[in-house]
């Protein structure tokens, strides 16, 4: 879906632009541990500056195709501190934090209140948990399902300092997917 902006509307300064990321997840970068958004989609949504939180929520539903919670990054902040926006007052506050021309960095995620029927059978772990496990299809080779049916949400490389102290290569053995594999973290 492409968002078209009228030229008169674009120049009037009455628009808010949201740089929306959704469908992916926030993970630490392997080199320095700084959080970044991985996978999914990142698109720009342009809305009228006078939009209410309820109208914005409806636009985001149309934008993503499913209900989402809106969390925004502060202008000079990082992804570790995201501000939830659930009311008109919170939306006004986040808009005031940004300069007139700046895009508001937004992370969209499925609402926590929506529980899937299978969530009760996963041992009480939330589907958003990085440690929840999705079983592979039966009779599948161990690595054939890597791209389509990941067995764990993600795995992190071992601490670099620990690997240096032990003077050995750092293998990922923390998850079922890579256990016994020859995958080496760089």
Q: Name all domains of the chain by residue range, CATH numbers in brackets.
A: 7-109 (3.10.20.90), 125-186 (no CATH)
φ, ψ of residue 140 to 5 degrees: the values are: -100, 145
Average pLDDT value for residue range 67-78? 92
> By the 8 A CB rule, do 165 and 159 touch?
no
What the block records as the tokens of 39 is: 């996978």
DSSP state of 148: T
What the block records as the tokens of 34 is: 């700084």
Average pLDDT value for residue range 126-143? 44
Strand partners, 35: 28
Tell me what percent of the residues of the chain surpass a pLDDT of 90. 38
pLDDT at 185 over 80: no
pLDDT band of residue 12 (cuts 50, 70, 90) is: low
> In a 10 Å sphere around its CB, with 0-12 CB exposed, 13-18 middle and 19+ buried, how is residue 158 labelled?
middle
Average pLDDT value for residue range 44-54? 94
Average pLDDT value for residue range 7-36? 82
DSSP state of 65: S
> By the 8 A CB rule, do 170 and 160 touch?
yes
State pTM to two decimals. Answer: 0.55
Average pLDDT value for residue range 79-84? 91
Q: What is the pLDDT of residue 118?
A: 44
Q: What is the pLDDT of residue 113?
A: 64
Of 27, 2, 22, give the one whose Cα is nearest residue 70. Answer: 22
Distances (CA, A) of 59 to 21, 33, 68, 113: 14, 33, 10, 19
Average pLDDT value for residue range 91-113? 87
- Provide the strand spans (E) within the chain: 15-22, 25-28, 35-38, 41-48, 69-73, 82-85, 104-109
φ, ψ of residue 96 to 5 degrees: the values are: -65, -25
Alpha helix segments (H runs only) across the chain: 7-12, 53-64, 88-97, 160-166
Tell me what percent of the residues of the chain surpass a pLDDT of 70. 53
Residues ≥6 apart with Cβ < 8 Å to 48? 14, 15, 16
pLDDT band of residue 88 (cuts 50, 70, 90) is: very high
């Amino acid at each position: 879906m492409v968002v078209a902006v009228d030229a008169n509307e674009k120049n009037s300064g009455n628009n808010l632009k949201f740089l929306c990321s959704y469908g992916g997840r926030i993970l630490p970068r392997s080199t320095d541990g700084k959080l970044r958004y991985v996978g999914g989609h990142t698109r720009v949504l342009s809305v009228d500056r006078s939009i209410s939180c309820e109208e914005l929520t409806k636009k985001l539903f149309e934008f993503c195709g499913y209900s989402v919670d809106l969390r925004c990054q502060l202008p000079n902040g990082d992804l570790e501190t995201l501000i939830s926006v659930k009311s008109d007052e919170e939306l006004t506050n986040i808009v005031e934090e940004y300069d007139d021309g700046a895009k508001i960095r937004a992370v969209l995620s499925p609402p926590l209140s929506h529980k899937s029927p299978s969530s009760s059978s996963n041992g009480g772990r939330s589907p958003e948990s990085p440690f929840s496990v999705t079983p592979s299809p039966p009779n599948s080779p161990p690595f054939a399902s890597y791209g389509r049916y990941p067995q764990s949400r993600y795995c992190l490389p071992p601490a670099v300092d620990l690997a240096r102290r032990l003077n050995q290569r750092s293998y990922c053995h923390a998850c079922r997917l890579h256990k016994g594999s020859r995958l080496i973290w760089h």
